């Protein structure tokens, strides 16, 4: 028998759950996210340990889902000083690295950008060999001025050796302390997008180091000896070492966790998940217990990447959404008081009318230390300029309209499918939604994201292009599959739990014989 | 004559995606290439064909290759210069202007990069008025203009000149060597005189692409309906509103082939549409009956953001609007239909102009 703790750090709340190895929730909590983040995590973990009353040594795994890296990028804060080397001359020079970055980010990151000879053709022939002197001259120019280096080679997804060689030279010239970020480890085919991902990854390695250190220290302070994991954007886990090396992969893990968590809580394998938070509602689609991925290229901090992110549609409806009345209509948001609900909300003595205030006054939501109910209704009547029931009806009607529009947007066909509510603001959702076969409010829905982190598996993936005129397609696919499997076992998966998520070979247009192979496996942690 | 700046390229690239009718390669890479070149070498002069001297040498410069390669092994820019220089050296004559071969997709914007670098004007015309999957499918071919000599160059410095017995062989031979060059290259082709351009090209197509791009981008900026704005500017027929319900994709020979199924919404709630594509959209059928057939243009637009969708990126569940636009009159002649019509792509259906197919449908006009 062993136990796991899942923690989700959001902009407003830090949630934690303690579950048995069979994934039954034994304790849960919602704490405010703190400025230093780690004290919030500490409080949350302490609380679930206390409530569940489980000996510390029986907590085998702790999984953390966090927005650290997303925030650092969006706010352009604490980013590493980086250099970027692209291997591929004479090809590719017309479109230099960072060409389409937002100007402010280019200014911040773009001081040491170089292109050198090298790279491969799609079929493995050299475009040109690496030139040691040329590479080292570039590295010398960066000496003392960078903390991380992004290395990107043409067709490195098929042949990564040039990227790895440059990484070795980088350590030689810049010292062992410099971090490297090789593109073949962070992105897929498509040079510019993969290079962008490698550059963002390099920029985030400092933030990641701090995050990992804080997480380790917190757990240490709590005298826990559990194995630690961080959630990544495809709904699977990585070790702290991996998170330190590949922080960009943690971006957008939040929505993935809530979609998977809500599915598991309601024991529904396919449907629509709506996660209602303080500021927004995020709708996603669950297909066979995994989020439907977007085929649109994902923009991170204004930069184009080729990550497969969950397909999420966001609308401005959350617990803190500001409500305004104009003549016979009410307008919801799109602005919100966010985490200032307890200062600004009418229920707490403030002057801003929020969605939460209506549901508190109507007894559909309970929070301690708020205004007395009749007093609250009266204040709502004064601010809204109308009778409480009438105002509430208008608000609910507006929510109904917005949510039905959201559901319709997410659906692929007219067939009715289940809608699963989750998140701290789930009380806002109507019990009946047009287009939904039923609306589910599973137990523990408010901590679906932390639960999602807890049930996450580990995964491994790779893709490459092979020339089937020279190589046997089947053998190449088996080879890729076995490499990915070895990688997955190394990460700590138990062999008998390994599942094939993706195994595809796609012929390429205009290239007779060339095929793109892609493999993705997942598995459970060894128990 | 007028100057084209990097800002205009944004509009033209968006319009090129519309004219790409689902194919032609995503203009994103072409746009970056053109913007970077203009930034480095200065604005490009766009001229009308009538501004050309009759004996001026005009050449098409184009990117040639597999879409997958174009996004991984990016262009160096040198290959285009080489294809250009080689043509001048081979013919012993200065090139006075560049003409895009294909205004739809990637090759709608790439010629701007060469024009900026070589400081020659670009002609506001092309040889397709849209995108097509093969080099010989041009109005130039319809007027008997040979594609040869073709100059071909890669980023490494390899070069080739072709003399082919007809324009179809041009596609075949250049296609074969392109693979050996690593899947992409630059070509110079259809060398012709100013007089030939005046007769054989689809005129005003660059400005038209710009107009279409502007219709979408500016309407979005002003919070107006970009699709209505596009329909008005393109004189397009709105064929269908719906949601993508299925996509099948396979690669046959060198082409992406497939069918995209759309379930109707709003006025089309009881209907289904299928779009066949071979790189480009070729045939739109509503409840089994053709409503638009190549060479007329079939354009798939994302109803949420008014972004034209390429066949490779069709996503299950997207809300879409399907538009049809009349092909240039040269494609609607019997020779034009033979070269770019349904039979060329293996269909039994005969070509019927899109306005004929939809004349009894009050909803669409």
Domain assignments of chain B as residue spans, ordered by start: 2-203, 235-357
In sequence order, the β-bridge partners of residue A16 are A7, A29
**Does residue A314 contact residue A198 with C-beta atoms inside 8 Å?**
no
B256 pLDDT exceeds 80?
Answer: no
Q: Which residue bears the tokens 């617990």? A: A319
Q: Name the minimum distance, in Å, from the CA of A99 to any CA of chain B.
A: 8
User: How many beta-carbon pairs under 8 angstroms link A with B?
Assistant: 133
For residue B125, give the 3-state DSSP assignment: strand
Percent with pLDDT over 90 in chain B: 83
Q: Does domain B2-203 have CATH number 3.40.50.300?
A: no
Q: What is the pLDDT of residue A295?
A: 63
Q: What is the pLDDT of residue B83?
A: 98
Mean pLDDT of B204-214: 97
**Does residue A238 contact residue A215 with C-beta atoms inside 8 Å?**
no
Q: Which residue bears the tokens 């217990």? A: A289
Mean pLDDT of A246-257: 88
- What element of type H or E holds A291? strand A290-291
Q: What is the pLDDT of residue B254?
A: 62
Q: Higher model confidence: residue B317 or residue A249?
A: A249
Task: Provide φ and ψ at A313, rounded to 5°.
Answer: -110, 125
Mean pLDDT of B95-99: 98
Full DSSP string of B348-361: SSPP--HHHHTTT-
**Nearest CB partner across the interface for A94, out of B36, B71, B251:** B36
Backbone region of residue B169 per phi and psi (left: phi > 0; alpha: psi in -120 to 50; beta: other values): alpha
Q: Higher model confidence: residue A36 or residue B88?
A: B88
Mean pLDDT of B224-237: 93
In sequence order, the β-bridge partners of residue B246 are B261
A177 pLDDT exceeds 90?
Answer: yes
Q: Name the minimum distance, in Å, from the CA of B55 to any CA of chain A.
A: 33
Contacts of B304 in chain A (CB under 8 A): 409
Helices (H), A411-469: 448-455
Q: Which residue bears the tokens 């200032």? A: A340
Mean pLDDT of B69-76: 94
Angle made by CA atoms A410, A416, A422, in degrees to the nearest 5: 60
- Residue B75 DSSP class: -
A239 pLDDT exceeds 60?
Answer: yes
Q: Whose CA is closest to B201, among B140, B130, B120, B131?
A: B140
Q: Alpha-carbon dihedral of residues B253, B255, B256, B258, nearest 10 degrees?
A: -80
A508, B68: Cβ pair inside 8 Å?
A: yes
Candidate CATH numbers 2.50.20, 3.30.420, 3.40.1130, 1.10.260; the one for domain A269-446: 3.30.420
**Distance (Å, whole) CA A332 – CA A353:** 10
Q: What is the pLDDT of residue A127?
A: 97
Quick: pLDDT tens for A390-410.
999 999 999 999 999 899 888
Mean pLDDT of B328-348: 95
Percent with pLDDT over 70 in chain B: 97
Q: What is the pLDDT of residue A515?
A: 84
A190, B72: Cβ pair inside 8 Å?
A: yes
**Distance (Å, whole) CA B127 – CA B134:** 12
**Distance (Å, whole) CA A220 – CA A216:** 6
For residue A180, give the 3-state DSSP assignment: strand
The chain-wide mean pLDDT, for chain B, equals 93
Mutate to test the interface with B, among A120, A469, A510, A518 (most CBs of B within 10 A): A510
**B6-19 and B205-221 helices, crossing angle to 10°:** 100
**Distance (Å, whole) CA B332 – CA B346:** 18
Mean pLDDT of B182-205: 97
B223 pLDDT exceeds 50?
Answer: yes
Full DSSP string of A72-119: HHHHT-SPPPEEEEEEEETTTTTS-TTTTS-HHHHHHHTTSEEEEE--
Task: Provide φ and ψ at B13, rounded to 5°.
Answer: -65, -40
**Distance (Å, whole) CA B227 – CA B234:** 10
Q: Which residue bears the tokens 């998940």? A: A273
Contacts of A191 in chain B (CB under 8 A): 71-74
A521 pLDDT exceeds 70?
Answer: yes
Contacts of A158 in chain B (CB under 8 A): none
- Residue A185 DSSP class: G
Q: Name the minimum distance, in Å, from the CA of B9 to any CA of chain A.
A: 14
C-alpha A28, offset from chain centre: 21
Backbone region of residue B31 per phi and psi (left: phi > 0; alpha: psi in -120 to 50; beta: other values): alpha
**Distance (Å, whole) CA B304 – CA B323:** 15
**Distance (Å, whole) CA B147 – CA A220:** 73
Q: Whose CA is closest to B99, among B132, B120, B73, B124?
A: B124
B72 pLDDT exceeds 70?
Answer: yes
Domains A3-73+209-266 and A269-446 share a fold: yes
Q: Per-residue confidence at A64, pLDDT binned at 50, 70, 90? A: very high
B155 close to A (CB below 8 A): yes
A414 pLDDT exceeds 80?
Answer: no
**Does residue B204 contact residue B49 with C-beta atoms inside 8 Å?**
no
Mutate to test the interface with B, among A90, A94, A284 (most CBs of B within 10 A): A94
Q: Whose CA is closest to A73, among A234, A203, A244?
A: A203
Full DSSP string of A5-49: EEEEE-SSEEEEEEEETT--EEEEEEEEPPTTSHHHHHHHHHHHH
Quick: pLDDT tens for A318-334.
999 999 998 778 899 88
Tokens representing residue A250 in the block: 């943690």
B364 pLDDT exceeds 70?
Answer: no
**Does residue A262 contact residue A449 with C-beta atoms inside 8 Å?**
no
- What size, in residues, is chain B? 365
Contacts of A125 in chain B (CB under 8 A): 182
Give the chain A residue nearest B74 (alpha carbons): A92
**Does residue A249 contact residue A204 with C-beta atoms inside 8 Å?**
no
C-alpha B354, offset from chain centre: 19
Q: What is the pLDDT of residue A462?
A: 86
The chain-wide mean pLDDT, for chain A, equals 90
Contacts of A514 in chain B (CB under 8 A): 66, 68, 183
Q: Higher model confidence: residue A344 or residue B141?
A: B141
**Nearest CB partner across the interface for B78, out of A90, A125, A127:** A90
Mean pLDDT of A270-297: 86
In sequence order, the β-bridge partners of residue A287 are A290
**Does residue B230 contact residue B215 with C-beta atoms inside 8 Å?**
yes
Q: Per-residue confidence at B183, pLDDT binned at 50, 70, 90? A: very high
Q: What is the pLDDT of residue B319?
A: 86
CATH fold of A3-73+209-266 reads: Nucleotidyltransferase; domain 5 (3.30.420)
B183, A507: Cβ pair inside 8 Å?
A: no
Full DSSP string of B88-155: HHHHTS---EE--S--SGGGGTHHHHHHHHHT--EESEESSSS--SSTT-SHHHHTT----SEEEE-T
Q: What is the pLDDT of residue B154?
A: 97
Within 8 A by CB and 6+ apart from B288, the residues are none
Q: What is the pLDDT of residue B200?
A: 97
**Distance (Å, whole) CA A161 – CA B197:** 49
**Nearest CB partner across the interface for B156, out of A90, A92, A191:** A90
**Distance (Å, whole) CA B186 – CA B142:** 23
Q: What is the pLDDT of residue A292?
A: 83
Q: Per-residue confidence at B363, pLDDT binned at 50, 70, 90? A: low
Mean pLDDT of B256-284: 91
Give the chain B residue nearest A115 (alpha carbons): B76
- What element of type H or E holds A199? helix A191-221
Angle made by CA atoms B339, B344, B347, in degrees to the nearest 5: 140
For residue A228, give the 3-state DSSP assignment: strand
Percent with pLDDT over 70 in chain A: 99
Contacts of A511 in chain B (CB under 8 A): 66, 68-69, 179, 183, 254
pTM for the whole structure: 0.88
Q: What is the pLDDT of residue B253?
A: 64
Over A295-331, what HEC string results?
CCCEEECCEEECCCCECCEEECCCCCEEEEEECCEEE
A439 pLDDT exceeds 70?
Answer: yes
**Does residue A123 contact residue A132 with C-beta atoms inside 8 Å?**
no
Tokens representing residue A8 in the block: 């989700």
Q: Per-residue confidence at A277, pLDDT binned at 50, 70, 90? A: confident
Question: What ipTM was reported for this prediction?
Answer: 0.90
For residue B257, give the 3-state DSSP assignment: strand
Mean pLDDT of B7-21: 96
Candidate CATH numbers 1.10.10, 2.40.390, 1.20.1300, 2.60.40; the one for domain B235-357: 2.40.390
Cα(first)–Cα(last) distance of chain B, in Å?
Answer: 35
- Residue A345 DSSP class: B
B76, A90: Cβ pair inside 8 Å?
A: yes
Within 8 A by CB and 6+ apart from B133, the residues are B23, B255, B278, B279, B280
**Distance (Å, whole) CA B12 – CA B113:** 13
Q: What is the pLDDT of residue B362?
A: 61
Within 8 A by CB and 6+ apart from A75, the residues are none
Q: What is the pLDDT of residue B365?
A: 46
């Amino acid at each position: 028998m062993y136990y796991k703790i899942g923690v989700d750090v959001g902009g407003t709340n830090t949630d934690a759950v303690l579950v048995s190895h069979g994934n039954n929730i034994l304790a849960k909590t919602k704490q405010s996210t703190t400025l230093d983040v780690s004290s919030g995590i500490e409080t949350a973990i302490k609380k679930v340990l206390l409530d569940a009353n489980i000996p510390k040594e029986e907590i085998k795994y702790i999984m953390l889902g966090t927005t650290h890296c997303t925030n650092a990028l969006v706010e352009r804060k604490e980013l590493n000083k980086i250099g970027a080397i692209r291997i591929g001359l004479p090809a590719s020079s017309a479109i230099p690295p960072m060409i389409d970055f937002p100007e402010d980010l280019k200014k911040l990151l773009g001081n040491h950008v170089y292109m050198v000879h090298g790279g491969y053709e799609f079929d493995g022939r050299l475009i040109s060999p690496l030139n040691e002197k040329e590479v080292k001259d570039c590295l010398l120019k960066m000496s003392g001025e960078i903390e991380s280096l992004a290395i990107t080679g043409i067709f490195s997804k098929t042949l990564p050796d040039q990227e790895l060689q440059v990484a070795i030279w980088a350590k030689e010239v810049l010292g062992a302390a410099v971090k490297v970020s090789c593109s073949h480890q962070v992105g897929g085919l498509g040079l510019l997008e993969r290079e962008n991902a490698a550059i963002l990854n390099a920029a985030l390695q400092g933030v990641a180091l701090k995050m990992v250190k804080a997480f380790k220290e917190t757990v240490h302070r709590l005298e826990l000896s559990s194995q630690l994991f961080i959630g990544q954007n495809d709904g699977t886990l990585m070790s702290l070492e991996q998170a330190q090396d590949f922080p960009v992969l943690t971006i957008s893990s939040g929505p993935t966790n809530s979609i998977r968590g809500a599915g598991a809580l309601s024991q529904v394998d396919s449907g629509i998940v709506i996660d209602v938070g303080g500021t927004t509602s995020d709708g996603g689609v669950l297909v066979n217990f995994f989020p439907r991925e977007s085929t649109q290229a994902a923009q991170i901090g204004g930069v184009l990447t080729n990550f497969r992110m969950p397909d999420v549609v966001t609308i401005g409806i959350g617990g803190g959404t500001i409500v305004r009345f104009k003549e016979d209509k009410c307008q919801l948001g799109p602005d919100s008081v966010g985490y200032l609900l307890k200062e600004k909300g009418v229920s707490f003595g403030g002057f801003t009318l929020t969605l939460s205030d209506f549901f508190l006054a109507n007894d559909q939501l309970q929070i301690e230390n708020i205004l007395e109910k009749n007093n609250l209704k009266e204040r709502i009547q004064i601010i809204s300029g109308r009778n409480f029931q009438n105002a509430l009806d208008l608000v609910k009607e507006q929510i109904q309209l917005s949510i039905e529009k959201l559901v319709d947007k997410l659906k692929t066909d007219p067939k009715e499918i289940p809608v699963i509510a989750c998140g701290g603001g789930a009380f806002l959702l109507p019990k009946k939604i047009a287009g939904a076969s039923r609306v589910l409010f599973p137990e523990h829905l408010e901590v679906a994201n932390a639960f999602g982190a807890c049930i996450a598996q580990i995964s491994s993936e790779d893709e490459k292009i092979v020339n089937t005129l020279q190589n046997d397609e089947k053998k190449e696919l088996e080879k890729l599959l076995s490499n990915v499997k070895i990688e997955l076992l190394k990460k700590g998966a138990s062999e008998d739990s390994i599942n094939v998520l993706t195994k595809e070979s796609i012929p390429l247009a205009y290239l007779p014989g060339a095929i793109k192979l892609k493999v993705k496996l997942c598995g459970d942690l060894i128990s | 004559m007028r100057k084209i700046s990097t800002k205009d390229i944004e509009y033209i690239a968006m319009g090129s995606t519309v004219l790409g009718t689902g194919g032609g390669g995503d203009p994103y890479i072409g746009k970056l290439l053109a913007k970077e070149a203009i930034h480095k070498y200065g604005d490009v002069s766009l001229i009308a064909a009538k501004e050309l001297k009759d004996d001026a040498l005009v050449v098409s410069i184009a990117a040639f290759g597999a879409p997958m390669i174009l996004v991984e092994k990016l262009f160096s820019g040198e290959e285009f210069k080489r294809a250009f220089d080689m043509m001048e050296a081979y013919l012993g004559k200065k090139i006075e202007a560049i003409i895009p071969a294909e205004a739809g997709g990637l090759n709608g914007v790439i010629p701007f990069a060469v024009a900026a670098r070589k400081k020659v004007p670009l002609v506001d015309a092309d040889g397709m008025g849209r995108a097509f999957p093969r080099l010989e499918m041009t109005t130039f071919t319809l007027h008997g203009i040979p594609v040869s000599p073709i100059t071909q160059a890669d980023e490494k410095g390899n070069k080739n000149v072709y003399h082919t017995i007809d324009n179809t062989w041009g596609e075949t031979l250049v296609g074969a060597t392109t693979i050996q060059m690593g899947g992409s290259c630059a070509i110079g082709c259809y060398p012709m005189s100013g007089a030939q351009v005046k007769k054989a090209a689809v005129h005003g197509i660059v400005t038209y692409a710009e107009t279409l791009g502007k219709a979408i981008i500016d309407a979005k900026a002003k919070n107006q309906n970009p699709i209505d704005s596009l329909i008005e500017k393109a004189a397009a027929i709105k064929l269908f509103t719906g949601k993508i319900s299925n996509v099948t994709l396979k690669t046959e020979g060198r082409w992406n082939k497939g069918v995209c199924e759309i379930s109707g919404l709003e006025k089309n709630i009881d209907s289904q549409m299928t779009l066949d594509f071979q790189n480009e959209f070729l045939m739109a059928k509503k409840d089994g009956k053709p409503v638009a057939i190549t060479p007329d243009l079939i354009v798939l637009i994302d109803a949420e953001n008014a972004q034209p969708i390429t066949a490779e990126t069709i996503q299950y569940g997207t809300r879409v609007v399907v538009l049809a636009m009349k092909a240039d009159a040269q494609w609607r002649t019997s020779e034009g239909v033979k070269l770019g019509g349904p039979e060329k792509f293996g269909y039994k259906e005969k070509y019927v102009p899109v306005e004929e197919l939809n004349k009894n449908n009050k909803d669409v006009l």
